[in-house]
Amino acid sequence: MNTTPLAPAILVLGPPLVFKAYETEFSKKFNFLKPWKTSIPLRQFISTHSATVKAIFCSAVSPVTAEIIRSLPELRFVLASSTGVNHIDLRECKRRGIVVANAGSTFSEDVADMAVGLLIDVVKRISAGNRLVKARVWPREGGYPLTHKLGGKRVGIVGLGTIGHHIATRLKAMGCIISYTSTTMKPHVTYPFYPRMHQLAANSDILIISCALTEQTHHMIDREVMLVLGKEGVIVNIARGAIIKEKELVECLVKGEIGGAGLDVFEHEPNFPEELFELDNVVLTPHHGAVTEEACRDLYDHICKNLDAFLSNKPLECEVIDM
C-alpha cells in the first residue's frame, strides 16, 4: 500500500501573466496545477484535486469565489499577482482562516508611469496625432488642433497610497498643483486634502484614480462628479474600471461634458466601450499599466519568496490584513 503523502499543490487561476513569462522556472520550484491545459471543466478539475490544494495563485481577472474556496477543504493561502484583491472573496477567506497576500508595491512605479503617460497623451493628443500622420492626411486636412499645457494644471488624486504618491511626485515635478482624497487624511502629506469626492472634483482640472476597488469606492466616479469636473476636465484611471460608472463616463465623453479620458482599466474587462474608439480625446490601453519586464521579474521573485514562506510556515510578505 502506498502511504506517500500527497504533495502540497498550488492551483493557478488565470494564469497570471508573470506565470506565463516564468512558467519553466516556477514549475521547477513548486507543484502547480494548471487547469487551462486540460479540457476538463474548472469545477470538475478543482473537485479532482481538492484534497491536495493548499494554495491558490491567481490573476486579477480570475475570481476566487466563495464556491471555489468552499470546494477546497485544505486551502490555506491565496496569493494574488496583483495589488488589488477585489476579485477574491475576502469574507469567505476570513471565515475559513485563509491567509491572503498580494503583489504589494511591486508595480507601483510602473503604474504611476502609465498614469502620467496616459495623462500626457490625452492632454497633448499624441495618439491622435500619430493616427493623423500614419493615415497620410496631414497636412491635407488642415491644422492640428490646439492642445493643452500640463504645467499649472490642478490634479486631484483619488487614493494617495503608494501608487498615488508616485504619481503626485512625478506630476509635481512637471509643475502640476496636487490635491487628493483618501479614506483618511495623511498626517505627513502637505498636499491639500478634500474629504469628499465632489470637493476634489470641484477643485481639479484632472482626476487620477489610484484607489482600491471596494464597496465604498464602487461607482464612486459618477455623472455628478464628472459634471463638477467640467467640460475641460480629464479623467485617468489606472486602478479598477468599476470605480467609474462606465456608462455615464461614455455618455459624458460622447456629449463633450468632460474634456477627455485615459483608461487602462474597464468595468467589464476584456470588453471595451466601442463608443470611445473614434474619440481623439480618449486613450485606451489593455490593463497593462503594471506590466514591464522589470516588474515581472520582481514579481516572480516576490511570488517565489511568498510561496516558499507559506510552505515553510514562515512570515509572509504583503499579507492583506484588512479583510
**What is the per-residue pLDDT across 242-294, written as a single tens digit (0 to 9) for each?**
999 999 999 999 999 999 999 999 999 888 899 999 999 999 999 888 889 99
Q: Which residue has the higher pLDDT, 1 or 93?
A: 93
At residue 60 the predicted structure's pLDDT band, cuts being 50, 70 and 90, is confident
For residue 239, what are the contacts with CB-CB under 8 A and spacing of at least 6?
84, 158, 159, 209, 210, 211, 212, 213, 265
Give pTM, 2 decimals. 0.87
Q: What domains can be seen in the chain, in order of their start residue? A: 9-106+293-311 (3.40.50.720), 108-284 (3.40.50.720)
Whether the per-residue pLDDT at 112 is higher than 70: the answer is: yes
Mean pLDDT for the stretch of residues 43-70: 94
Number of H helices, E strands in the chain: 12, 11
Q: Beta partners for 155?
A: 178, 206
Question: What are the start-end ranges of the H helices in the chain?
Answer: 17-21, 23-29, 42-49, 66-70, 90-96, 108-124, 126-134, 162-173, 197-202, 223-229, 246-254, 293-311
CB 236 within 8 A of CB 118: yes
Joined grid coordinates for residue 46: 478543482
3-class DSSP state for residue 44?
helix
Mean pLDDT for the stretch of residues 186-199: 95
At residue 142 the predicted structure's pLDDT band, cuts being 50, 70 and 90, is low
Q: Which residues are known catalytic residues?
A: 240, 269, 287
Indicate the DSSP class of residue 319: B
CB 93 within 8 A of CB 69: yes
Residue 189 vs residues 90, 172, 193, 247: alpha-carbon distances, Å: 30, 13, 9, 34
